[in-house]
Structure 1
Amino acid sequence: MRKLTAITCTLLVALFIFCADAFAQPNKLQPVSDAISPALSAQLNDYLAKRMQESVDNRILAQDIDRLIAPFKTENRTETRQWQSEFWGKWFTSAALAYQYHPDKKLKSVLDKAVTGLLATQTPDGYIGNYAEAHRLEEWDIWGRKYCMLGLLAYYDITKVKWSLTSAVKVADNLISELNKKDGLIVNKGNYRGMAASSVLEPICLLYNCTGNKKYLDFALEIVRQWETPEGPQLISKANVNVSERFPRPKNWYSPEQGQKAYEMMSCYEGLLELYRITRNPAYKKAVEDVWANIRDTEINIAGSGASTEMWFGGKALQSTPINHYQETCVTVTWLKPCGQLLRLTGQAKYADEAERTYYNALLGSMNGHGANWAKYTPLNGQRLAGSEQCGMGLNCCEASGPRGLFNIPLQMVTTTKVGVQVNYFADGTFKLKCMGDDVTLTQRTIYPRSGSIEMELTLPKPAVFEVAIRIPAWSKNTKLSVNGEAITNLQPGSNATIKRKWSNGYKISLELDMRGRLIETLTPAHSIAIMRGPVILARDARFGGPSIEAVLKPVKDANGYIALSEAPNTTGDDILMLYKASFIPESYTENGAPPVSVTLCDYASAGNGSVNSFYKVWLVQLVYPSAE
């Protein structure tokens, strides 16, 4: 009876989706408008600017493009199992985002070469890939085609050259034709209940937006229909089921029946959000919002990432323990992307809160000091070590994908809305916007996150009435905001403070965020504490000496439960963002206890990320007191 009920529920959800789609065609409803629009340009300074330039110079421009293209050549189309065909698209979309942030002639010429080189391999039937003809559609073939389409569409967005769009159309047409000739099914292709293959939904929706060809909308709707069949990943009907518990544990971890694959699952939901923008089907938006909340609440750790051996596993509750292959950088990047998508769609501060935490911790922590390499996995306690090469390509998936996360944020830092300007993130820089028809520049002066003081100034051609919305992070409990010295009151952490008034050139906005050291505690599986300052986790690092990295240390708290942090000098010679001293009471074997000792803490992204791979520690295990229980 339970099985019948489950099947009935699945069919009812599928029927609801089908019926909703029947009344959600674009010729009947206008596409959904996003709540915010990106800045026309952003010029960052200081720490983030340096990290992005290093990534361009030492990773994006240093890449051997010919090596990325080689697998696609006719003589090399012998693949039956691996994923070489993803690397070109991941690298290219990283490079395209970097170019959108900072248009540069050298980078543009590299993009041109990469596209023309790839298109030279496209066969008359439209195929771009490296799989042997008898093995097309198998394993990672469709996944690779997805990344090729995303790259070609990104190039079209930048250049508006029709032949790039035409080539992406040919790839899509070839895929649809081959699927129809086979069995018409995409959810039985490759591993992970079809999630890798059916994540092609995203570029298919983007193609529909570019061409208006209903064939692509029909294909997108068919993909989503197949999700809800028994063999599919059931991404909508299981949207309220914990992502780690949707299907029984498979006998083979990396297999067709595995339904907990983190990266591919989130990629599918990104596509579903694009389909929502086209159709206005509320079931799609609700599914993405519900899953986002579930991932945040059950999987995302203090650093803003998660997953073990690339799967969801209920990891938030276990984050203070040693975890195998933790925090794959591809998972980190792909968590950042739906956060950004939902921020763009809704403008809600909670999405920026999560993205910021991920950006400053898990993402920047996976990038080495000079941007040439990205760690495959990054533990919360341990070492940062380079990942291994994959598929004979000279790099791995995370090194190709890491810069996609890095350049995902800049143009969303300051955005426009239908009624004004919205400040989502804080960084020293200049942001040019088109606000209600006028050119507006917002300049931020700050050393955030080293400091919580942010000064903003507006430059505009004439006085105008509009709203300026500023995110008040959920962690900032004591915030001050003023305009030209006039205090703005009733600030709510975790929301946007909205200021509507007549603005004139040179108006100044001052924001002071609460940067006190916060203690984060977990009681499972053992009582442990971590320390955050603003959006940044602090960590111990063996480089700085002091008590052994394994010493049991109890933080000295003030009356309000915060820990005092004082800036410490950097004598290591390594590039470290934040360095502090704090007082802890060490474990004592005497009746009277030990006096406090000073311990050095640095930001998580810098921990273990110097000239030597030192051991570091985010979670500090605390003593058990049976007498107090």
Structure 2
Amino acid sequence: KYLELARQVAKLVKPFEHAIHSHHFFSTLRGMVNLYLETADTSLLDRLEEEWEKINTKGLLPTGGAPEHYLTTWTSDEGCSEADWMMINLYMWSITRKIRYIEAAEKTLLNHFFWNQSANGGFSCNYGGGDFRNGKMGNHAPGKRNEAYWCCSMHGTYGLSEIAKYVVTFDNRSVWVNLFNDIKGALRMMDSEVKFSLRTLYPLKGQLHLEIESENPFDLKIRAPSWLQSLPEGIPLGQSLNLSAPTSVGARPRPDINLGGTSLNLTVNGASVQPDIKDGYIVIPKKGRRLKVELNFPMQVRTEAPAISSFSYNKSDFVPASVTGKNLIFYGPSILRPVDKLEEGEIVIIPDNPDFRIEKGLLRIKFFAVKSPEDAADKEKWQARIFEPISQETFSPMDITEYLFRVEGLKS
């Protein structure tokens, strides 16, 4: 009788166009996922994919997160909604194996969910003077991250536990490495144990070191990040480094293998191998008892001009960032923000080979800023500006954090 009641409730769920509070609507979709897993009703899966398309197109911020409310006057997010959206994407990947879901989960994880995290490990939200439509978000108390212990901390830590389940996944024929994080463990594949160890400093450095031991033959599938595959010929910032290498980066990588205009270096049991990429994953057949894989790829600075839906916020006079000329600045998968507030109207200049530093696990990149496009041609007028991944907001909260900028090309 409970299952039948769940079916009746699912039929009453209104589409995204009627959504106001994102956590409520996303929680409903998570319930529909659970109902599909119990019933295998394909109409539920069709509905989930339909709603995902609308949310992805109309209901997300440039960071990959979601606002708390879909209302004109509301300019805050909510840690619970970011956790929901990640979990929806992880569950949808487990059902469909479509790479877009894992990619969406990682973008939200690195660029919004961790941004919502407090220094004590709990979770909070961004609001108080900012406006995410213009690429600005504020803390509830200026310069201070307040934990929402009554709500977001509970749901955020639940989201963290779900994320951990999807770093490495498997079935009887394949082992997937979906998200890049240090992990060591074992899983049971049919009647045999599979031991694995993954070491990485991603997203600070583009290196993975993976060791697997098992009697079973299977395909190892390592996600090839879509941002890496789609990069144009440009400025490879970073190098293939050992985990014990110095923490400064900046040298150009060795162009062993070209993947979409970037170098990707793959070794399997000590031998250089041409990557075989299928459906967004590098496929490596495991035949012997042991498999050792080293994967190195460049971490590049790139820009992206996002379109912000006017429908989502019921604000028809808002002009998308792609029209205003404002851009996100990425380092690999991570959206960057200035450590100190930029002056109003400043234009960011990205030099050919920015100075990089990684200290105590925190990344700092040196760009420059000018007051006008004309000043960009005069290096004497360049003023240094330090940027870092937006997820590092936790350790140095600002009154207002910016993430959309005017960028004057890549100047040498």
TM category, shorter: 0.7 to 0.9
- In structure 2, C-alpha distance between the alignment counterparts of 1:306 and 1:552, rounded to whole Å: 27
Answering whether residue 259 of structure 2 is matched by residue 475 of structure 1, we say no
Alignment equivalent of 1:515, drawn from 296, 299, 311:
299
- In structure 2, C-alpha distance between the alignment counterparts of 1:459 and 1:386, rounded to whole Å: 50
Answering whether residue 339 of structure 2 is matched by residue 339 of structure 1, we say no
| Equivalence for 1:277 | 37
SS at match of 2:61: coil
| Equivalence for 1:455 | 209
Answering whether residue 42 of structure 2 is matched by residue 263 of structure 1, we say no
Contact 2:187 2:194 in 1 (8 A): yes
Distance 1:352 1:594, change over 3 A: same
CA offset at residue 611 of structure 1?
A: 5.5
Answering whether residue 48 of structure 2 is matched by residue 288 of structure 1, we say yes
Deviates more, 1:445-454 or 1:431-440: 431-440
Alignment equivalent of 1:556, drawn from 329, 346, 350:
350
- In structure 2, C-alpha distance between the alignment counterparts of 1:385 and 1:500, rounded to whole Å: 50
Kindly indicate which of the two structures has a greater share of residues assigned to helix.
Answer: 1
**Superposition pairs for residues 167-316 of structure 1, below 5 Å?**
215-225=1-11, 227=12, 233-235=13-15, 243=16, 246-247=17-18, 259-307=19-67, 309-311=68-70
TM-score, scaled relative to structure 1: 0.51
Task: Give unpaired runs (5+ residues) of structure 2.
Answer: 143-147, 230-261, 307-320
1:8-39 CA distances to partner (integer Å, 9 max, x unpaired)?
xxxxxxxxxxxxxxxxxxxxxxxxxxxxxxxx
SS at match of 2:124: coil
| Equivalence for 1:189 | none
TM-score, scaled relative to structure 2: 0.76
- In structure 1, C-alpha distance between the alignment counterparts of 2:324 and 2:400, rounded to whole Å: 21
Alignment equivalent of 1:355, drawn from 91, 101, 105:
105
Distance 1:590 1:386, change over 3 A: closer
**Superposition pairs for residues 307-456 of structure 1, below 5 Å?**
307=67, 309-311=68-70, 324-375=74-125, 377=127, 379=132, 380-385=135-140, 395-456=149-210
**Superposition pairs for residues 128-147 of structure 1, below 5 Å?**
none
RMSD: 2.9
- In structure 1, C-alpha distance between the alignment counterparts of 2:92 and 2:284, rounded to whole Å: 23
| Equivalence for 1:567 | 356
Deviates more, 1:215-224 or 1:446-455: 215-224
- In structure 1, C-alpha distance between the alignment counterparts of 2:188 and 2:71, rounded to whole Å: 41
Contact 1:542 1:615 in 2 (8 A): no
Distance 1:590 1:432, change over 3 A: closer
SS at match of 1:568: strand
Percent identity over the alignment is 20
CA offset at residue 584 of structure 1?
A: 4.7
| Equivalence for 1:150 | none
- In structure 2, C-alpha distance between the alignment counterparts of 1:534 and 1:508, rounded to whole Å: 24
CA offset at residue 466 of structure 1?
A: 1.0
Contact 1:306 1:326 in 2 (8 A): no
CA offset at residue 449 of structure 1?
A: 0.9
- In structure 1, C-alpha distance between the alignment counterparts of 2:93 and 2:377, rounded to whole Å: 53
CA offset at residue 284 of structure 1?
A: 0.7
Give the length in aligned residue pairs: 349
Distance 1:341 1:589, change over 3 A: closer
Contact 2:138 2:398 in 1 (8 A): yes
Answering whether residue 354 of structure 2 is matched by residue 604 of structure 1, we say no
Task: Give unpaired runs (5+ residues) of structure 1.
Answer: 1-214, 228-232, 236-242, 248-258, 314-322, 388-393, 559-563, 624-629
Contact 1:416 1:434 in 2 (8 A): no
- In structure 2, C-alpha distance between the alignment counterparts of 1:569 and 1:501, rounded to whole Å: 35
| Equivalence for 2:340 | 542
Distance 1:381 1:279, change over 3 A: same
Alignment equivalent of 1:486, drawn from 250, 254, 272:
272
Which fold has the larger relative contact order, with Cα–Cα distance below 8 Å and residues 6 or more apart in sequence?
2
SS at match of 1:449: coil
State the one-letter code of the partner of 2:50: D
Kindly indicate which of the two structures has a greater share of residues assigned to strand.
Answer: 2
1:50-76 CA distances to partner (integer Å, 9 max, x unpaired)?
xxxxxxxxxxxxxxxxxxxxxxxxxxx
Larger radius of gyration: 1
CA offset at residue 439 of structure 1?
A: 1.0
Deviates more, 1:376-385 or 1:431-440: 376-385
| Equivalence for 1:527 | 325
